[in-house]
Structure 1
Amino acid sequence: MFLFCVFVGWSFSMGSAYQFHSWRVFVVVCALPCVSAVVALTFMPESPRFLLEIGKHDEAWMILKQIHDTNMRARGQPEKVFTVHRIKTPKQIDELIEIESDTGTWYRRGFVRVRTELHGIWITFMRCFDYPVKDNTIKLTVVWLTLSFGYYGLSVWFSDVIRHLQEDEYALRVKNFNGQNISNYVFNFTLENQIHRNGDFVNDRFISMKFKSVVFQDSLFEKCYFEDVTSLNTYFRNCTFLESHFVNTGEDVMSFVQFSLQ
């Protein structure tokens, strides 16, 4: 609920062509933990087990010492000395691969190596459900699945809810104009969230402006001049253009005219 209150209605603009609304901000914030984790992994040292497997015993000892010193400082015992009496080196290769590496063919050796690796992964996985770590594995699995489902739900559903609420709020603030008669007027500002019905615009100039969520219905534009005009979610329905000129209205000079005739 706190995040909901913070992000609803919050947005900012990047120039006049792009609006960065609150639901996009929410998605970006949800992605920050993943990005932070990727960055953090690049600075994390290798695990002692991996270093022992590849024969780097000194590096493994230094990592273990660093972990020990960090834990002791957190416990308020920084003076405690790290001592190691014995380090057990993990088995680096299966005996079956050792035997068949000299006599078998290359694809046979590859098949045996893959089968052995998969078997080792399965054995390690099944140990997670044996005593004494079985209960902790089940609890962590439930927590992980719950967090993953909640994170996915928030990033997909919550952002969509925010967008719909913004659209509803935007629709409630729409301004309606009916039967307007505007002549010899210069529009050089943004028209936003408006509906114009049965209006007559005669000899008006639309210069360096933007239409944003504007609808013109059954309106007449006579001897009007449009220059440097951009539009977003703007529709001209059943409108009539008489002796009107369009200059630099989008990427193509005629794009605004085609868009107006929708």
Structure 2
Amino acid sequence: MDRVIGVIGGSGVYEIDGLQSPDWVTVDSPFGAPSDACLVGHLDGVKMAFLPRHGRGHVHSPSSVPYRANIDALKRLGVTDVISVSACGSFRDQMAPGDFVIVDQFIDRTFAREKSFFGPGLVAHVSVAHPTCPRLGAVCARAAREAGINVHEGGTYLAMEGPQFSSQAESRLYREVWGCDVIGMTNMPEAKLAREAELCYASVAMITDYDSWHPDHGTVDITDIITTLTGNAGKARALLGSLPSLLGPHTPCPHGCDHALDHAILTAPDKRDPDMVAKLSAIAGRVLG
């Protein structure tokens, strides 16, 4: 199997620099239409597929993003490694606007989204104790450093429903009581779905603001966020551009991301819903036969 890098671009990131023979490819998914077509091409000889999470022109809110269709579409394109790029707020003085954080943990506070490919007729439980791929995250951190980005390795991401930003009371709760490092609206259920799809997943969180807890920065200002987003987008493209050479040839994931379903499906073979089996042909075809 060849390595195929999938990039889910968040706010402000709508392209990959230097992509050769780029082509917008529409992928049909049994989970509905993805956010947009995927921009597919090659970079340094490695196939890459770029999917704008909010769609070109930013037409999807965090709650309306078709997360299942997006992950399913990337899987159908042969993607092996997913890099999620997203904007976030910071709960830490040392994690300043313009810095990047390689997230390794999540607290999921979303409530209006489909969070699994599985369900009645085909039940499965995967572990998300360690929801990101350490190997892929380490490569992203190295790429960030080589691009001159101030990057923090490791951090807990509070996933909120949105689209509103936090109240001060919420911001202080997440920071002081729950010990979160950054806050965003889009990495959940994306990370959970990537694990169900047996994809290595890394989260690159680009800090735009200090949320609303910081005494010297007041409330979140969307104008300031957009200004910081513009600078972050250029940094993100530099990071993405070096990933093919840093990742090298495809090898099995040493952390087992690519075998997450080995013991996850509980429904007996003779009780499995045929329609569900067909629907999950890309996501779970390896274990469903």
What TM-score do the two structures reach when normalised by structure 2?
Answer: 0.17
Greater length-normalized contact order (CA 8 Å, ≥ 6 residues apart) = 2
Larger Rg, first or second structure (1 or 2): 1
